Amino acid sequence: MPPPVFRFAPSPNGLLHLGHAYSALLNFDLARQNGGRFLLRIEDIDGARSRPDYEAAIYQDLAWLGIVWETPVRRQSEHFDLYRDAVERLAGHGLVYPAFESRAEIVRMIEQSPHMQVSAKPWPRDPDGSPLYPGSVTTLPPQEREARMRAGEPFVLRLDSGTACRQAGALMWEEQGSGPGGETKRVAARPEAWGDVVLARKETPTSYHLSVVLDDALQGVTHVVRGQDLFWATSVHRLLQQLLGLPAPVYRHHGLLRGEDGRKLSKSARAASLQSLREQGLSPQNIREMVGLP
């Protein structure tokens, strides 16, 4: 049996905090306990938010924690061609279409939709709480889509989720952790809950969902261990794996560390960074204790 492969895949758009330390150490410990490999991947597809100094801080923080990773480190921004090819493959199966609306226009489309005029029910939202995209593949004639792209308008490429889900059929994943609702073991994927997700953008030929799925497969990742906030994203990942003929890793979603206010730690909420904890004199052992790892 080849060794299991674990990975930690941060985005260099802020300093790592205790939640990242927990996820990275858990993956590293699991790899060691199981005679496996541990990979680090830099998820830097967002050119506007990714910064070299944050990437350097990731290496510094992880090394300080005693984590050792294989090199070279895969940086997603260096593999746009691969992601572009995958979108083209999906497009070749008639599963991708361009959409041109801004966020504000999407909100307006929803407000003006016949559903909102006649139904008492609120507009459906995805598991992250964003309203589902209301357009459908049929709303714009193909010639008009082509013309607008040629004219240089901003666009995103969306997955035609209805057709994609029909093509893929029912999907499950093996869950070794648990979901926010206590889901365990074999979880039924619900990609339809996300609607027509964005696969790529005019300026960025990929998205989180697409690149994570392609890279996990390409790097031979067998165990995806990550926070529970990504639990339902796994539905989309299973769908893309099925459509692209990629193997499905085993998943383990771990609980999220919460701040004193009970909210999940996040870069934007200015959770104390590992860098600042280190500067305050804390040791890697203190960090392990704080995140509840032996």
Size of the site for ligand GLU (CB under 6 A): 7
Residue choice 6, 11, 31, 99 for contact with ligand GLU (CB under 6 A): 11
From the CB of 216, what's the least distance to ligand GLU, in Å?
A: 8
Q: Which of residues 108-167 bind ligand GLU (CB under 6 A)?
A: none
Which whole-number Å values give the CA distances from 107 to 97, 129, 130, 156, 200, in the listed order?
20, 14, 10, 16, 20
- 60: Cβ contacts below 8 Å, ≥ 6 apart: 275
> Which of 121, 185, 264, 267 is the catalytic position?
267
The answer to the question of residue 212 lying near ligand GLU (CB under 6 A) is yes
Q: Does 4 bind ligand GLU (CB under 6 A)?
A: no
Residues 6+ apart with CB under 8 A from 187: 172, 173, 175, 179, 234
Residues 22-81 that bind ligand GLU (CB under 6 A): 43
CB of 202 to ligand GLU, least distance (A): 22
Q: Contact with ligand GLU (CB under 6 A): which of 149, 193, 230, 244?
A: 230
Burial class (CB in 10 A: 0-12, 13-18, 19+), 113: middle
9 binds ligand GLU (CB under 6 A): yes
The window from 5-13, 87-95, 110-118, 283-291 that contacts ligand GLU (CB under 6 A) reads 5-13
**E-strand stretches of the chain:** 5-8, 37-42, 74-75, 96-99, 156-159, 172-175, 185-188, 198-201, 223-227, 250-254
Interface positions with ligand GLU (CB under 6 A): 9-11, 43, 212, 226, 230
